[in-house]
Amino acid sequence: MTEAPVLYSFRRCPYAMRARWALLQAGVIVQWREVALKAKPAEMLARSPKGTVPVLVLVDGTVIDESLAVMEWALAQADPCDWRRQNCAEDQRQIQELIACNDGAFKHHLDRFKYTDRYPGESKQEHDQAGLAILRGWSDRIQTCGGWLLDGRCSLADAALWPFVRQWRNADPEAFDGDESLAPLRQWLERFLADPLFERLMQRADPWDSGGLQPHFPADAVAVPADQPLFHLALTEDWHAAQGEGVYEISTRGLAVDQVGFMHLSWQEQVAATYEKFYADAGAVMLLTIDPKALTAPLRADAIPSGELFPHLYGLLPLTAVTAACPYPATES
Ligand SMILES: N[C@@H](CCC(=O)N[C@@H](CS)C(=O)NCC(=O)O)C(=O)O
């Protein structure tokens, strides 16, 4: 694999979790250096003396040592589901307000509720009540906004807050699960915990050591070689519609990239099986040949449940990257 950014991370840290969640979403691969907080590597402290995780060191040496900035960097590489709500200033304002409340007041109460013995003289009950008031506000929002904090889709606010809500729940699961006023928030949290990405997010690694095998995150993904063509099966009508729009936005049969989060691609030897499984009864189908070097959005090969790796494009397909579009299966001449 070519050089990738370096991520200093700690598995259970909610800040590091939200940074990794955004890297997963953006199709990025990083060199993964798991940190023991009691013995932080000198290499990390040399880059970021404040000594908190996550820290992302880019290939050009730029250091990003705030989790939100790591999320922003990841989403600048690819934001396939528009978590940042790029065309709506009011949504962006609400995202900032929600994150500020989480990172400020809510985190303050969470620390004092969860780790009361570290805060002599503080009342656990007061922080419990104050934290719960914030959680109830979020729960009500989720109920009225359509299942997520902003509207009917996940946004940067949801992605940045959920690891902290999970921590609150973990401090007293019985109370959290038994509180009727938190039912919408519970369902919302469960969406993250039940997502197959959660397992990838929480993969384990030993604390980093400069010798030996260097893991990357996500551990079950690989970089896509730039010297092999990629393929995508498209419904002929979708491909024709794309000619008018200048860009092709379908991820797989019947689903758009902003619904799935990436575009499904294949390597040559995977095309026939993909056709049989998903397109054999679809009517007219085209096989697009794609030059990976002409793509600007991140490419990452991710494992499906069987373990087979498939290349995924974390963005839309520019028509200029398609070097051939032929009916599939090829018609006999
Ligand atoms: N504002 C920072 C906060 C990060 C943070 O506080 N991380 C904790 C771990 S959850 C940490 O590294 N603490 C240092 C330590 O425990 O020594 C961010 O958003 O990245």
Strand, helix or coil at 195? coil
With beta carbons less than 8 A apart as the criterion, state whether 138 and 185 touch: yes
My answer on whether 178 and 95 are in the same domain is yes
Whether 254 is in the pocket of ligand 1, judged by its Cβ within 6 Å, is no
Cα of 126 vs centre of ligand 1, distance in Å, is: 24
Q: Which of 65, 53, 45, 40 is nearest to 208 (CA)?
A: 40
Q: Residue 213: its pLDDT value, please?
A: 84
In this prediction, what percent of the chain has a pLDDT beyond 70? 99
Give residue 247's domain range.
Answer: 221-327
Q: Within the chain, how many helices (H) and strands (E) appear?
A: 13, 16
Report the first-to-last Cα separation within the chain, whole angstroms. 42
Peptide bond into 298 cis (omega under 30): no
CA angle at 276 for the pair 274 and 282, rounded to the nearest 5° = 100
Cα of 238 vs centre of ligand 1, distance in Å, is: 46
pLDDT digits (tens, 9 = 90+) for 85-102: 999 999 999 999 999 999
Cα of 52 vs centre of ligand 1, distance in Å, is: 4
Report the atom number in ligand 1 closest to the C-alpha of 10. 9
Cα of 130 vs centre of ligand 1, distance in Å, is: 22
**pLDDT exceeds 80 at position 159:** yes
With beta carbons less than 8 A apart as the criterion, state whether 167 and 114 touch: yes
CATH code assigned at 36: 3.40.30.10
Torsions phi, psi for 141 (to 5 deg): -60, -50
Structural domain contains residue 207: no
Q: Residue 204: its pLDDT value, please?
A: 96
Q: Residue 2: its pLDDT value, please?
A: 60
Whether 37 is in the pocket of ligand 1, judged by its Cβ within 6 Å, is yes
Strand, helix or coil at 204? coil
Q: In what order do the strands lie in the sheet with 216-217?
A: 63-64, 55-57, 6-9, 30-34, 216-217
**pLDDT exceeds 90 at position 331:** no
Average pLDDT of every residue of the chain: 97
Q: What is the mean pLDDT of residues 76-81?
A: 98
Rounded to whole angstroms, how far apart are CA atoms 190 and 154?
Answer: 13
Q: Which of 139, 159, 141, 152 is nearest to 259 (CA)?
A: 152
Pocket probe for ligand 1: among 34, 52, 167, the residue whose CB has the most ligand atoms within 8 Å is: 52
Rounded to whole angstroms, how far apart are CA atoms 197 and 25?
Answer: 9
Question: Predicted confidence band at 332 (pLDDT cuts at 50, 70, 90)?
Answer: low
Cα of 73 vs centre of ligand 1, distance in Å, is: 18
Q: Residue 333: its pLDDT value, please?
A: 57
Q: Which two tokens stand for residue 291?
A: 């030059």
Q: Residue 121: its pLDDT value, please?
A: 94
- The residue nearest atom 2 of ligand 1, judged by CA position, is 66
pTM: 0.97
Last residue of a domain, one of 80, 97, 117: 80
Report the atom number in ligand 1 closest to the C-alpha of 19. 20
Q: Which two tokens stand for residue 14?
A: 């909610």
**pLDDT exceeds 70 at position 13:** yes
The DSSP code sequence of 116-130 is GGGSTT--HHHHHHH
Q: Which of 231, 240, 200 is nearest to 218 (CA)?
A: 200
pLDDT digits (tens, 9 = 90+) for 249-300: 999 999 999 999 999 999 999 999 999 999 999 999 999 999 999 999 999 9
CATH code assigned at 164: 1.20.1050.10
Q: Residue 249: its pLDDT value, please?
A: 96
pLDDT digits (tens, 9 = 90+) for 121-137: 999 999 999 999 999 99
The one-letter amino acid code at 299 reads L
Q: Residue 99: its pLDDT value, please?
A: 99
My answer on whether 33 and 69 are in the same domain is yes
Rounded to whole angstroms, how far apart are CA atoms 331 and 329?
Answer: 6
Structural domain contains residue 241: yes
Question: Predicted confidence band at 109 (pLDDT cuts at 50, 70, 90)?
Answer: very high
pLDDT digits (tens, 9 = 90+) for 162-218: 999 999 999 999 999 999 999 999 999 999 999 999 999 999 999 999 988 899 999
Structural domain contains residue 202: no
> How many folded domains does the chain comprise?
3
pLDDT digits (tens, 9 = 90+) for 20-51: 999 999 999 999 999 999 999 999 999 999 99
Whether 252 is in the pocket of ligand 1, judged by its Cβ within 6 Å, is no
In this prediction, what percent of the chain has a pLDDT beyond 90? 96
Last residue of a domain, one of 197, 232, 248: 197
My answer on whether 58 and 107 are in the same domain is no
Question: Predicted confidence band at 305 (pLDDT cuts at 50, 70, 90)?
Answer: confident
Cα of 144 vs centre of ligand 1, distance in Å, is: 33
Strand, helix or coil at 266? strand
Structural domain contains residue 215: no
Structural domain contains residue 319: yes
